[in-house]
Each structure stands twice: as C-alpha cells, then as structure tokens.
Amino acid sequence: MDANLHRRCVNTIKGLSMDAVQAANSGHPGMPMGMADVATVLWTRFLKFDPADPQWFDRDRFVLSAGHGSMLLYSLLHLSGYDLPLQELRDFRQWGSRTPGHPEVHHTPGVETTTGPLGQGFANGVGMAFAERTLRETFGSELCDHWTYAIVSDGDLMEGVAYEAASLAGHLGLGRLVYLWDDNRITIDGGTDLAFSEDVLARLEAAGWHTQRVDGHDAEAVAAAIEAARGVTSQPSIIACRTVIGHGSPSYAGTSKTHGAPLGVDEVAATKAALGMDPDATFAVPDDVVAAFRAHDGARERAAWLSRHAEHPDAARLDAWLAGASDAFLGEVAWPSFETGTKLATRKASHACLKALAGAAPWLVGGSADLAGSNGTKTGQKAFSRDGFGGAGTVHFGIREHAMGSICNGISLHGGLRPYNATFLAFHDYQRPAVRMSALMELPVLYIYTHDSIFLGEDGPTHQPVATLLALRSLPNTSVWRPADAAETAIAWRESLATRRGPSALILTRQGLPVLDRSTYASAEGAARGGYVLADSAGPPDVCLLATGSEVATCLAARDLLAERGLSARVVSLPNRERFLAQDAAYQSDVLPADVPRVAVEAAVTLGWERWTGAGGAIIGIDTFGASAPGGVLAEKFGFTAANVASTAESLVRP
C-alpha cells in the first residue's frame, strides 16, 4: 500500500470515529484517531482473518483492550468486510445496535472479547496465546498456527491485573503474542505524569518481554516493529507506539479533551478540512479505502486450512476438543465413589473428581493460585512451562488471583480448552472483576473455591468469607454450587462441565463432612435440580430446614432432635439456588410447600435468604465477621449447632 492510500485509510477511520461519536453525542474519539495508523498497518499487512467466517479456528486473534476506543474496531470491521453495515456505525451506542459503547463478544461479528474494564483485555490476550501454544504443541502447526495481537493503553498498563498477566506470560515465554501500546500519555484527568512515571518497557523487559519503541504515526516503522516482534517466538512482545491522542484535531490533539467526549460539530468539520477531507460529508467511505482493507486473502488462507484439516489424522480429535464436554463423554466418566459413614471434606471429594477427569479430559486445563494442595488441584499432570506445553494439564498461576481468572477467560474465548482455576473463597474478592467478565461474556469457566466458611477456624476472619456467597449469587449467568457432601460434589462437577453458558463456582469445605448414606437419604441426583428433599417425614412436615454445604449435616442432626420433641422436619439441601429457581413452579412448591414454616441455615450473611423463608420463617447465619478459634468453638459461638437449629425451628411451630 502506497503512502497516499495509507493516509486515506487512516483518515477514513478518523472520520468514521468522529462522526459516530458525534452522532451518539457520547464516546471516545481520541484513541481511534491516535491509533488509526497502527491499526491500519496491522489489519492490512499482518492480521489473518476471513470476514465470511468470523469464528474460523485458525484465525489470528485481535483484542482491543482499550475498549473505550471501540469505534476504531467497528471501523476496521466494517471496512474489512465483516457483517457490520455502515448503518450500524451510524447507530453507535444506540439501543439494539451491534455497536455498543464498548466491544462485546457474541454481539458483534469479529469481536473476540468484551473489553472496557481496563487490563482485562490485556490478560485475555495472554489466555488466548496460552491456548494457541497448547493446541499448536498438541496438534501441530498444520492445524494451529496463529497469533494474538492487542492494542493496549496507558490505562491498561496502570491496572494491576495487566502486570500480573504480563508476569506470567513472560515467565512462560509466551511467543506469538504481540501488544501494540498506544503510548499517548493522556488519561481522562490529564497527562499520565499525574500518576504514572515508571519506565514501562523496562518493567516488562524485567518480566521477560521483548520490547520496542516506535513513532506510532510512521507506518513503515510500525510495520518493521511488528515484523521484528514476529521474529521473536520465545517471548511475548510489546511495541510502544508513541502517538498523539485526537491526532489531526486542530484544537484538541494531544489533550484529554479528546479522550471521552465528542469533538463538537465545528471541530469535526475543522479536523476533516485539516486532513483534506470533505468537512460536510459524514460517514464517508471511499471505494479505494474499502478495496485496500479487503485486499487481504483471508478466504484463501481459510480454504487452505480447511484442506489441511480434511486430510489431517488428528482433525477429529481437535474437533472433539473444540466441542468440549459432551453428554456422552460425561456419561462415560468413571466418577469416584465415596464410602458411606466416613467424613470427607468436599474439597477432597472435588480433588477425586478432578483426578478422574484428568486422564479422560485432556482439554481440561487449570490450576491454583499457589494453593494446589489446599484447593485439591494436584492431579499429577505435567505442568505448563517455558520449555513445553504439549501434554501438560496443570497451570501454576502463582499468587495472581485476578489475572488467573482473566487468563482463564481468554483460554475459554479462544476455544479448544476448558479452563478451571482455584483459590480460597475469601480471595474471590481479588478476582471478582474477572468473574464478572466471565458472567457477562457467558463463558463456561470453572472456579473452585475452598475453605468456604468460618469453619476453617484458627486462621481467623481475614480468611473466613461471610459475604462472598452473596456476591457470587448476585452475578447474572453464574451457577454457584455449595454441595453438602462428596456425592453432591460429584454432581456439581458433572453439571458444571455440562454447562455451556456462564461460569460455575464450586464452593467447598476445608473440614470433613459426613458422606451421607443414600440408602437412608435421597439420591444425590436431586442436586442436579439445584434443590431437593434430602430427608422427609412420614406425614406432612411441621417445619422445613433449608441449608447448603456443611450446614446440611447440622440440619439432619436437628431433625433427629425435633423428632424426639414430637415434631417432624423436612430437610432440603439447596446446593444451587439458581438451578433450583430454574425448575418449574410445581417442583419448587413440592420441595418447599408454601404453608410450612422454614428455617434457613448457612454460615454466611443472612441477606438474600428472606426470599426463601418468608415473613414467618427464620434465618440462622452470620452478619458479622468471624473469629480465630477452632471450628467447633465457632459453631457453638455463632449458633451453627443442631441444638440451636432445633430450638429455632421449634419456636416457629410452637411460639
């Protein structure tokens, strides 16, 4: 592409971005204007994709981590021939459009991940590169041979999650990962020097990255830097592209005024005039610019891959990995059995399930934030390392909970692998932004949380989660499991793997719980419906005892005490409230009759349980922080005993 045509391409992106933001009277024009040169070079000279099949497996992945600059991506997608008509750009940020304020995966063709919260896209890209390397070393470059590119901002690099992810990427030597840093030195409040003065490239070099610095408005320099980065396959690469935010604006270029607000009708016209464009034309797309963006031969590259795939002996296995856990597969897993009458922590039951899956599901990959022994994620599998990914299944994420979740999101988005990760439930707070993005993107990432309550004991309130269950349950699209025993844990694992949309969280105990005698109590299969009658009375019950996790056994003991007092109690195990609410109304009322008083028992905050107990019910929970003491002492002090549950239930029946 000659320099004149390149400039017309760049100016077209600037014009579309200014016009869309102005039409919406909302948005961020400065970043697209500043990075138009870099993006044009990447998309017309390097990126491998085919708009006719946006989900083609061996395409390059492009992440706009600086999601506020979404009009840059929408302009590129439209110009490159994706199914994003010009009218969608005119409808930027409007109800029902495919051009929301920040890019959303599964919503706009060609968008690989949902970005906006800064740092998330940076970490997602690391996950994508991780998945690409795993699959390339497993299936060979004939089936898997692509790159991950991202545009990242000053704001991305300020966020802690970005450095967590960068640290792990450098440690693992993740090549085929090229980040283009929009080094414009401007944030909303003003210059980055207000709060940011470190040498970013030196920091990333120390983390094991290959680094370069270029003029982001020099197309040939940018192209040469990308070429050099592609020549380094043993390290991730970042290219600091020195740019001017709002480039081309006569009044506002280089200022924070272009960051998050329209330029104004007069300034848009003045900018177009300064760029040699028609100041009166809006959403102008010259034919030669369209031709330049659509000159890439992605269709040929995809056809060549399809041909290789058709003849490759490993193609069927790759397709199976891409399909993930099927019903047939889940039905054939040799799930562990557990000895009735023994005690087993649900984290240990989960470990047994994970070990059973490790050999049967090589596409299941994951690990822990430096707590593998405690979380039950030691499976004996080979660990991923700088020296090789092939045949590995265990990831040592290090103490990087936030990046761990965000990287798993990237692995899931890439396809071909099913990621899980683990930490203590109390440390969910460190990764909550990533879990929220899992839920928003409806990604089937598995989150394993152990040490689930005050009953971990002497570690004290810093490690005793009390409000975390409520936080997890408040997330849309999220399936939260808190199994009562080992058998329910296996059901939770099976159902989580069967889930195709949205994350699952397994909430597991540190302490041993009775392995319930299923010849006496109901089958654990009832857990698959989210809630079920575990133990019932011969006639209509006087009271219903509802519980999750470790408190179910307490309710069973309370039921026996109530029987001695002449009262019949039904015990309902409710391991997954979201799943139970998805059942039909008849089933819900069969399990929880409206005319029977209810006592809910859970070692967590009481907020939220009132919908289950109603005005005439009672809740036994903990609305304060825990304490440092043995678990049995805490149970007594906070009222999580069979005697207290029985007395509370009796007070409802015999006021």
Query: Which domains are delineated in the chain?
Result: 3-300 (3.40.50.970), 324-514 (3.40.50.970), 529-653 (3.40.50.920)
The whole-chain average pLDDT of the chain stands at 97
* pLDDT for 411: 98
Give 1's pLDDT tier (boundaries 50, 70, 90).
confident
CB atoms within 10 A of CB 633: 13
Mark out the alpha helices in 27-117 (DSSP H runs).
30-45, 70-80, 86-90
Q: Per residue in 478-523, pLDDT tens?
A: 999 999 999 999 999 999 999 989 999 999 999 999 999 999 999 9
* DSSP character at residue 536: -
CA dihedral over 282, 288, 292, 294, signed as positive or negative:
positive
Q: Measured between alpha carbons, how far is residue 532 from residues 46, 62, 570 in Å?
A: 55, 45, 10
Order of strands, sheet of 479-481, starting from the edge strand that comes earlier in the sequence: 394-396, 364-368, 418-424, 446-450, 504-507, 479-481
What is the spatial distance between Cα 182 and Cα 151, in angstroms, rounded to a whole number?
7
- Find all residues with CB under 8 Å of 536, minimum gap 6, and list them: 570, 571
* pLDDT for 655: 84
* pLDDT for 326: 83
In angstroms, how far is CA 545 from the centroid of its own chain?
35
Check residue 608 and give left, alpha or beta (phi > 0: left; psi -120 to 50: alpha). left
* DSSP character at residue 35: H
Give 146's pLDDT tier (boundaries 50, 70, 90).
very high
Q: Measured between alpha carbons, how far is residue 618 from residues 165, 402, 545, 603, 649 in Å?
A: 45, 36, 10, 14, 8
Q: Measured between alpha carbons, how far is residue 571 from residues 560, 630, 631 in Å?
A: 11, 27, 23
* pLDDT for 328: 80
Q: Which of 128, 22, 171, 608 is nearest to 415 (CA)?
A: 128
Which residue matches tokens 């906070």? 638
- Find all residues with CB under 8 Å of 155, minimum gap 6, and list them: 66, 118, 119, 187
> Quick one: average pLDDT of 430-443?
98
* pLDDT for 194: 96
- Find all residues with CB under 8 Å of 293, minimum gap 6, and list them: 9, 43, 44, 76, 79, 80, 81
* pLDDT for 393: 95
Inter-residue contact 186 to 192 (CB < 8 Å): yes
* pLDDT for 615: 85
Give 325's pLDDT tier (boundaries 50, 70, 90).
confident
Whether the predicted model's global pTM rises above the 0.95 cut? yes
- Hey, what are 483's tokens? 């199994």
Q: Are strands 177-183 and 598-601 parallel, antiparallel or unpaired?
A: unpaired
Q: Strands, E, within 394-531: which ranges?
A: 394-396, 418-424, 446-450, 479-481, 504-507, 513-514
Active site residues: 401
> Quick one: average pLDDT of 451-461?
95
Q: Per residue in 55-108, pLDDT tens?
A: 999 999 999 999 999 999 999 999 999 999 999 999 999 999 999 999 999 999
* DSSP character at residue 384: P
300 burial via Cβ count (<10 Å: 0-12, 13-18, 19+): exposed
Helices (H) and strands (E) in the chain, counts: 26, 20
What is the spatial distance between Cα 248 and Cα 14, in angstroms, rounded to a whole number?
9
| Enclosing H/E stretch for 635 | helix 631-638
Q: Measured between alpha carbons, how far is residue 362 from residues 135, 322, 504, 603 in Å?
A: 11, 12, 19, 36
Percent of the chain, pLDDT > 70? 100
Q: Are strands 532-535 and 569-573 parallel, antiparallel or unpaired?
A: antiparallel
* pLDDT for 109: 98
Q: Per residue in 403-416, pLDDT tens?
A: 999 999 999 999 99
**Amino acid sitting at position 545:** L
What is the spatial distance between Cα 79 and Cα 40, in angstroms, rounded to a whole number?
10
- Find all residues with CB under 8 Å of 310, minimum gap 6, and list them: none
* DSSP character at residue 583: S
Three-state secondary-structure class, residue 513:
strand
| Enclosing H/E stretch for 133 | helix 120-139
* pLDDT value at 641 more than 90: yes
Inter-residue contact 399 to 424 (CB < 8 Å): no
- Hey, what are 517's tokens? 């005698």
Check residue 371 and give left, alpha or beta (phi > 0: left; psi -120 to 50: alpha). alpha
Q: Per residue in 152-166, pLDDT tens?
A: 999 999 999 999 999
